[in-house]
Amino acid sequence: MAVLITGGTGYIGSHTVAELSAEGVDVVIADNFFNSKPKTLDILREITGREIKFHEADVGDKAALEKIFSENDITAVVHFAGYKAVAESVSKPLGYYGNNIRGALALLETMGERGCKSLIFSSSATVYGIPENVPVTEESPLSAINPYGRTKLIIEDMCRDLCNSDDGWSITLLRYFNPVGAHKSGKLREDPNGAPNNLMPVMLKAAAGEIPELGVFGNDYPTPDGTCIRDYIHVVDLAKGHVAALKAMKKGVHAYNLGTGKGYSVLEIIETFKRVTGADLPCKIVPRRAGDAAECWSDPSKAKRELNWEAGFSLEEMCKDAAAAAGLLL
Ligand code: WQD
């Protein structure tokens, strides 16, 4: 028996493979390296000390999926594979709908045909759009505001409709807030192909002198220091959330916020990063980024109650682990 991890060489996928393997779960990875690197496979085999089966495949390719299911006894799937850059989704919406929706559809069809009806889906806080109230609960209104977020919402709806049509399915939707940090070994980290969009990888580039400075997207929001507030969560906490979710799988479709329940502003992140790393971090205030919410942070109590999971790493540890993996800790 094995768990199929689509996108398993990506940032969150690879950390989840490491945590599942540590729990003795056999995993099979399917990835096309669109936003990851083959060397991650070697790192995972080294970290886990286990042979990890791998199929280079696009989850939108049903023939490839059928081959994976025919060669492995897949009992559950964790589906990470998908495009995830908000700004890129605005400029290339059809590419995002095509890749993300087609991939999810091919996967769900193949799983159903093979009688594998246990799925954990990598959803996102972006399905809450610009939340009217914080903290955000799983019952907060869903309203994606960009094509990337809409693909997540459409796939969630596909899962809800599927469960309504067939009570044999067990589907868990994990809504991530802002993943940062890296594996303690420093060998797994956020290492996107191409220019990063998210705050932490941009901060790391500024601290490393690879870019002149970090641009802070606006300081005129209605928050204590004027910069946006987010719920940053250590990627290892997030990975452990998937282990907990796998253990708690149950019939029907169930959504959970995976966050810390604490919000930090951009300036607080910058200050914490500089304090724990001793790094110089040149930055300057620049105009707002379209679509940014002033505040978005979670109420993670449902995951604690039903998955017996809660985040444990501090913001300091998130910054320190991210810097260490980027070779920035002196
Ligand atoms: C965080 C804060 C920016 C970069 C997105 C997706 C979400 C999830 C996480 C996938 C914001 C500010 C950022 C920079 C900055 N991804 N910032 N300068 O937008 O909260 O969420 O990534 O699931 O779905 O929507 O994350 O890291 O881009 O931004 O000032 O160079 O940092 O304005 O306030 P975001 P982010």
**Ligand 1 atom nearest 125 alpha carbon:** 24
| Domain total of the chain | 1
Average pLDDT over residues 94-113: 98
Task: Work out whether strand 295-296 and strand 229-230 pair parallel, antiparallel, or are unpaired.
Answer: parallel
Which of 134, 266, 270 is the pocket-test mutation for ligand 1 (most atoms within 8 Å of CB)?
Answer: 266
Task: Work out whether strand 229-230 and strand 264-265 pair parallel, antiparallel, or are unpaired.
Answer: antiparallel
Q: Is 215 in the pocket of ligand 1 (CB under 6 A)?
A: yes
Report if residue 126 sits inside a domain: yes
Domain CATH for 72: 3.40.50.720
Report if residue 83 sits inside a domain: yes
Contact present, 102 and 61 (Cβ < 8 Å):
no
Report if residue 255 sits inside a domain: yes
Which residue's alpha carbon is nearest to atom 33 within ligand 1? 217
Q: Is 148 labeled as catalytic in the residue annotation?
A: yes
Q: Using the mean position of ligand 1's atoms as its centre, give its distance from the Cα of residue 181 in Å.
A: 14
Residue 40 has a CB neighbour count (10 Å cut-off) of 23
Rg value, the chain, Cα: 19
Task: Work out whether strand 229-230 and strand 170-176 pair parallel, antiparallel, or are unpaired.
Answer: unpaired
Catalytic residue of the set 148, 232, 256, 264: 148
Which of 12, 126, 190, 268 is the pocket-test mutation for ligand 1 (most atoms within 8 Å of CB)?
Answer: 126
Q: Using the mean position of ligand 1's atoms as its centre, give its distance from the Cα of residue 199 in Å.
A: 6
| pLDDT at residue number 93 | 97
Q: Is 86 in the pocket of ligand 1 (CB under 6 A)?
A: yes
HEC string of 70-139 equals HHCCEEEEEECCCCCCHHHHHHCHHHHHHHHHHHHHHHHHHHHHCCCCEEEEEEEHHHHCCCCCCCECCC
Report if residue 136 sits inside a domain: yes
Average pLDDT over residues 61-83: 98
Q: Is 176 in the pocket of ligand 1 (CB under 6 A)?
A: yes
Distance CA 294, CA 97 (A): 27
19 has a pLDDT exceeding 80: yes
Please write the tens of the pLDDT for every residue from 130-171: 999 999 999 999 999 999 999 999 999 999 999 999 999 999
Q: Using the mean position of ligand 1's atoms as its centre, give its distance from the Cα of residue 228 in Å.
A: 9
Whole domain around residue 51: which residue ranges?
2-181+233-259
Which of 88, 89, 197, 199 is the pocket-test mutation for ligand 1 (most atoms within 8 Å of CB)?
Answer: 199
Please write the tens of the pLDDT for every residue from 260-301: 999 999 999 999 999 999 999 999 999 999 999 999 999 999
Which two tokens mark 261? 């329940």
Helix axes 102-113, 147-165, angle to 10 degrees: 20
| pLDDT at residue number 191 | 80
Residue 134's contacts (CB-CB under 8 Å, 6 or more residues apart) are 229, 263, 295, 296, 297
Q: Is 89 in the pocket of ligand 1 (CB under 6 A)?
A: no
Q: Is 213 in the pocket of ligand 1 (CB under 6 A)?
A: no
Which two tokens mark 277? 């790393």
| pLDDT at residue number 53 | 97
Q: Is 15 in the pocket of ligand 1 (CB under 6 A)?
A: no
Q: Is the dihedral of CA 319, 320, 325, 328 positive or negative?
A: positive
Report if residue 15 sits inside a domain: yes
Q: Using the mean position of ligand 1's atoms as its centre, give its distance from the Cα of residue 283 in Å.
A: 16
Q: Is 205 in the pocket of ligand 1 (CB under 6 A)?
A: no
Q: Is 289 in the pocket of ligand 1 (CB under 6 A)?
A: yes
Q: Which residues pair with 283 in a beta bridge?
A: 214
Q: Using the mean position of ligand 1's atoms as its centre, give its distance from the Cα of residue 62 in Å.
A: 33
Percent of the chain with pLDDT over 70: 100
Report if residue 206 sits inside a domain: no
193 has a pLDDT exceeding 90: no
Contact present, 45 and 51 (Cβ < 8 Å):
yes
77 has a pLDDT exceeding 90: yes
Contact present, 128 and 136 (Cβ < 8 Å):
yes
330 has a pLDDT exceeding 70: no
Q: Is 3 in the pocket of ligand 1 (CB under 6 A)?
A: no
Report if residue 273 sits inside a domain: no
Q: Is 175 in the pocket of ligand 1 (CB under 6 A)?
A: no
Report if residue 127 sits inside a domain: yes
